[in-house]
Chain A
Amino acid sequence: MPKIKYIEPNGVEHVVELQPGQSVMQGAVWNGIPGIVAECGGSCACGTCRVYVDESWREKTGQASDMEDATMEIREDSRPGKRLSCQLTVTAELDGLVVRIPESQW
């Protein structure tokens, strides 16, 4: 199963195995990884599951949809690689994906 690495702002790393089809958000929430709040449970509606995809992975994860971009505008954020983790679906190709968790979702 694909492994996803989450890095907290303080540097603490968590590696989680996920089934293809699950979302990067679910991996964090089910494993109690702090900082991904996910209030809407994955509906692309709350903007509280933001992560930053590591530079080397951005090509594979692709671009955020327009809807996702519009939802991320809950706050200003110019940091590159930002995505809503509920919209990042795990595939075999994403085995090893590294995402960073923000200081705050707000």
Chain B
Amino acid sequence: MQTLTDLDLPHLPVETPAFAENPLRYLAEARAKHPWIASSSIGYLVHDYGAIRELLGQDDKLRPAYDGIVEQLGAHGTPWGRFTEEQMISLPVEQHRLLRDTFAAKFTPRYANQMRPMMQGTIRRLLDEWAPKGRFDFEEFASYFPISNMFTLVGAPREEIPSIRASFETLGLAFSMDKRRMPAIHEAFGRVEALVQRLIAERRAHPESGNRDDLLHLLIQTSDEGGIAERQLADLLIFLFVAGYDTSKNVLTHTMYLLLQRPEIYERCGQDHAYCGKVLEEAIRYYNPGQVPRFTSRDVAFRDVLIPRDTMLWFTLSISGRDPIAFPDPERFDPDRQIEPTRRHIAFSLGKHMCLGQFIARAQLQEALHQIPQRLRNPRLVGKFGWRPFPGIWGLHGLPIEFEPVEA
């Protein structure tokens, strides 16, 4: 068995714009040199679908490496650094489980389905406002959708969104591992933290202003009963806002990009609600935003390689669905693709940190995918778009489109 550090691994320039634009090209070359792992300036990348599937769910061998990110960015001791090291996903096993169990009932498929009428209303109102323009940046449009739903779910006033959205946008780039962004990230974090503290204080002062069924009520109640520390309460809201913001936005934007090139599928989405679900699953296989950071919590032997304890690994979920070994003809976008149980996309991760918001995300994206084609006819790309940095939350940057508006 060889130790990881002794291997001659391919090196992936994940920090470059060229990589963000076309990671698959680099991946194909890397795979020729080593089938499942590569090195990079931010740590090792486990990129093979099968390897991710086998390793990532092994919670007894891995732990979230958000503290490693803070360290690489030299942000230990800052408010954002503290938050990132102590956020829900970074907590010790027992604390994480207790916290997650506290509000998991607000994230079940049942609850997500109950929220659908609210989500339908959100996208309808947004389309009422944006469709008459005839031309806009789809990413900007999309950015208002998940966060509006999230605010409602939490019980936060939606009027706050326009002034705080830019800060979510900045925080979404925090894990891009670029130190030059740190001053902006610290500033954005300060704004979001202040907002969240104000929301909690306002609700405490006026409990009657909220809904007894919303998440904020539940969290404040649990906190008052001693189940959650005050600090954790604020951290949790920040985490939920950030976790639900650009992941869903980027998926919606990229799905639109795919459908701009596939007008028949786009048309059908407007007519067939169930079909939208299939299109979404295929779109998430084809592209999803996440790279998941982990430390090995002990020496791990995997496929004849010894990965020493405390090695930082990034699992590239984002492009794992295009792995030619796992998915036949991976570049073909086919919503009717047969889903093998052990070959399903892993966009929401695996194991005990599996995305808590996966059913909320799916429900809201399905509702959007159904209504958008009904209101934006014949959309076409009318300008250039870019790519967000690959590390962290990857995705399209901007998607200028033009279309014929349809009134509701």
A-side residues, CB < 8 A to B, are 34-35, 37, 39-47, 66-67, 69-74, 104-106
Contacts and interface: CB of A to CB of B under 8 A. Distances in A.
Interface stretch (B103-111, B284-292, B308-316): B103-111
Interface-central residue, A37, A47, A70, A72, by most chain B CB under 10 Å:
A70
A73 B110 contact: yes
A44 B359 CA distance: 13
Contacts of A66: 105
Contacts of B352: 40-43
Given A37-B344, A46-B358, A71-B108, 6 more contacts: A34-B341, A39-B57, A39-B354, A46-B354, A47-B109, A73-B108
What 7 pairs across the A-B complex have the smallest Cβ distances? A70-B108, A70-B110, A40-B354, A73-B109, A73-B110, A41-B351, A74-B109
Contacts of A41: 57, 59, 350-352, 354
Contacts of A73: 108-110, 113
A35 B342 CA distance: 9
B166 interface: no
Interface of B: 57, 59, 100, 104-105, 108-111, 113, 339, 341-342, 344, 346, 348, 350-352, 354, 356, 358-359
A67 B108 contact: yes
20 contacts: A37-B342, A37-B344, A39-B57, A39-B350, A40-B350, A41-B57, A41-B59, A42-B352, A45-B356, A46-B358, A67-B105, A67-B108, A70-B109, A71-B109, A73-B113, A74-B109, A104-B341, A105-B341, A106-B339, A106-B344
Interface-central residue, B59, B100, B110, B348, by most chain A CB under 10 Å:
B110
Contacts of A44: 104
A45 B109 contact: no
Contacts of A104: 339, 341
B4 to A, nearest CB: 24
Nearest to B60: A41
Nearest to A69: B110
A69 B109 CA distance: 10
Contacts of A34: 341
A40 B350 CA distance: 5
Nearest to B111: A70
Nearest to B107: A45
A37 B341 contact: yes
